[in-house]
Amino acid sequence: MSINFEESLVEIQKKFFEIYDECGKTFWKGCGSYLFNGQSYDYYDGMKEKQKLLFDLSKKHKSVLEIGTYMGHSSLIMLAANPTLKIVTIDIDPTYSTRSINYLSKNYPVADVKLLLGNSHEIIPTLSEKFDFFHIDGNHENSHVEKEIELCMKLSSSEIVTILFDDVGCCWPSIWHIQKNYRIVELIVPNCEWQNALVVFKK
């Protein structure tokens, strides 16, 4: 039975508040996620289209490498879409990522969710397993993201590389970098606030 995004929103919103409890009802003021705007801890439906893009992508794949865990909200969307997904998620800061990933591991026992703490540039070169897609949502400086792209490409399970970039408003130059050096086969940018962008390209 295929899982539907709209129907999953009830589960996602319930777990979104449970994660808040796990995190001692705190968050970094000004730092948002796929599910809230970083000002108040309320589900934000102005980002529904990008939530759906992440959800639908997760349904189609078996494994993902994510950069930027924060409170585990994007991981939650991926697991609600695909409760058997293998997720390796990297964050430089343990404050919220540790508690939220512990919560998600307990709540999705069939999935394989692993948190790696450290700078993406140092962690990714230590990995040898391959991934079906990548979610880049850590440090949004373009020089940083461009290096992440090159590192992720080496871990792609296919010659066709699938990367979802969050907050694409900050990282268009990184996408032009892909456009200049590789052949883009698909580019999707949903119509919503704080857009993400799905870029599929040939190595």
Nearer to ligand SAM, 119 or 195 (CB): 119
Nearer to ligand SAM, 1 or 94 (CB): 94
Write the single-letter amino acid at 20: Y
Nearer to ligand SAM, 70 or 201 (CB): 70
To the nearest whole angstrom, how small is the minimum distance from the Cβ of residue 159 to ligand SAM?
A: 26
Nearer to ligand SAM, 153 or 170 (CB): 170
Rounded-to-integer distance, Cα 114 and Cα 136, Å: 16
Between the alpha carbon of residue 48 and those of residues 5, 142, 155, 198, the distances in Å are: 10, 25, 29, 15
To the nearest whole angstrom, how small is the minimum distance from the Cβ of residue 65 to ligand SAM?
A: 12
Nearer to ligand SAM, 124 or 200 (CB): 124
To the nearest whole angstrom, how small is the minimum distance from the Cβ of residue 36 to ligand SAM?
A: 9
DSSP state letter for 48? H
Which residues does 150 contact at the CB level (< 8 Å), separation at least 6? Answer: none
Number of neighbouring beta carbons within 10 Å of residue 165 = 25
Nearer to ligand SAM, 147 or 182 (CB): 147
To the nearest whole angstrom, how small is the minimum distance from the Cβ of residue 148 to ligand SAM?
A: 8
Token pair in block for residue 12: 């996602």
To the nearest whole angstrom, how small is the minimum distance from the Cβ of residue 17 to ligand SAM?
A: 14
| Edge-first strand listing for the sheet containing 160-165 | 112-117, 86-91, 63-67, 133-136, 160-165, 197-202, 183-188
To the nearest whole angstrom, how small is the minimum distance from the Cβ of residue 166 to ligand SAM?
A: 6
Q: Are 89 and 100 in contact (CB under 8 A)?
A: no
**Backbone dihedral angles phi then psi of residue 97, each to the nearest 5 degrees:** -65, -40
Q: Footprint of ligand SAM on this chain (CB under 6 A)?
A: 31, 33-34, 67-71, 73-74, 90-93, 119-120, 137-139
Q: Which position has the token pair 């969710």? A: 113
Token pair in block for residue 46: 């102005």
